[in-house]
Amino acid sequence: MIESTYLEGIRAGLQAEMREDENVILFGQDIAAFGGAFKVTLGFLDEFGPKRVFNTPISESAMIGSAIGMATQGLRPVVELQFADFGLTAVHQIMNNAAMTHYRTGIPVPITLRMPCGGGFGGGPFHSEELEGLFCNMPGLKVVYPAFPGDARGLLVSAIRDPNPVIYLENKYLYRHVKEMIPRKADPVPLGIARICRTGRDAVILTYGAMVHESIQAAERVAADAGYGVMVIDMRTLKPYDEDTVLSAVAACNRVLIVHEGCRTCGFGAELAALVAEKAFHLLDAPVRRMTAPDVPVPFAPELEKAYRPDADKIEQALMELLEF
């Protein structure tokens, strides 16, 4: 076992697959000698050379368009976008080309788009957006969002090996804030399988990304202060998501709180709420609740960003209201 940060888990997953398969290539803005905006790829140029690790112009549309062409010819490109927000300049390439090529032609498009996202560092509205709901709405894409170092590594391995385009979301706040002991070998973590982080019978929190850690903290406070047992489920993969684990948790707990960092209206939490309403309404002892960011741009000012983002305090309050309904 080795200790790993979230950032180191991503780096290890990339290294493992590039060492295993020479068709895996990596490119993006400043990812070669500079090592990327967050230094995830530092040293990759020296190890793998300029034919497999190289910089690109500042054009996400050109980057992703090139990756689509390479993927149809047998390569497995991994594209690093400096921020998920910048992926919006390439929505046509992502949605109408990458996501639909297999449907239209039968040709696999094994590309992985790494997208740092989320707030907590004062990045403001153009560097902190949570766009998972948008990407989940695009047919043909898979969407992954790890919360722990081991999952960051294992899910990236699975994403690179997958024949479909995968949006791989990385929460920037977690890069150096979360550590855990992980096995030395980079085994894949299957896509579409949720992780039960904490058991309980009184309520369940469905969440992902940085909010997993805030939710665990809130659940532990509620247990210590009020004696309630709250289950916490890390979805890990948002598309396809683990319907069976969600419904089993609802059957066990009968109360559901959905937590995510993205905006409320049409956020991914609405999909989970709809699933519970359609297939497990008869099991509920209280209405499904959501704790999310409001429908406003991410603020720059630290005190406003803190008010904007869900955290353990807000989740704890929502939990108590749900439990005492």
pLDDT per position in the chain (325 positions), as tens? Answer: 999 999 999 999 999 999 999 999 999 999 999 999 999 999 999 999 999 999 999 999 999 999 999 999 999 999 999 999 999 999 999 999 999 999 999 999 999 999 999 998 889 899 999 999 999 999 999 999 999 999 999 999 999 999 999 999 999 999 999 999 999 999 999 999 999 999 999 999 999 999 999 999 999 999 999 999 999 999 999 999 999 999 999 999 999 999 999 999 999 999 999 999 999 999 999 999 999 999 999 999 999 999 999 999 999 999 999 999 9
Where does residue 234 rank: exposed (0-12), middle (13-18), buried (19+ CB within 10 A)? buried
* Average pLDDT taken over every residue of the chain: 97
- Ramachandran sector of residue 125 (left: φ over 0; alpha: ψ -120 to 50; beta: rest): alpha
pLDDT tens, position by position, 100-125: 999 999 999 999 999 999 998 889 89
Catalytic residue among 92, 102, 127, 177: 127
pLDDT tens, position by position, 171-199: 999 999 999 999 999 999 999 999 999 99
Domain 2-182 has CATH 2.60.40.10: no
Distances in Å between the Cα of 14 and the Cα atoms of 17, 103, 123, 251, 307 are 5, 28, 26, 38, 35
- Across the strands, what pairs with 117? 171
CATH topology of domain 195-323: Rossmann fold (3.40.50)
Contact between residue 128 and residue 170 where contact means Cβ atoms under 8 Å apart: no
* Domains of the chain, residue spans: 2-182, 195-323
Residue 127 among the catalytic residues: yes
State how far the Cα of 241 lies from the Cα of 306, in Å rounded to an integer.
29
Contact between residue 150 and residue 180 where contact means Cβ atoms under 8 Å apart: yes
Q: Full-prediction pTM beyond 0.95?
A: yes
Q: Is 2-182's fold the same as 195-323's?
A: yes
Q: Which of 191, 206, 201 is CA-nearest to residue 237?
A: 191
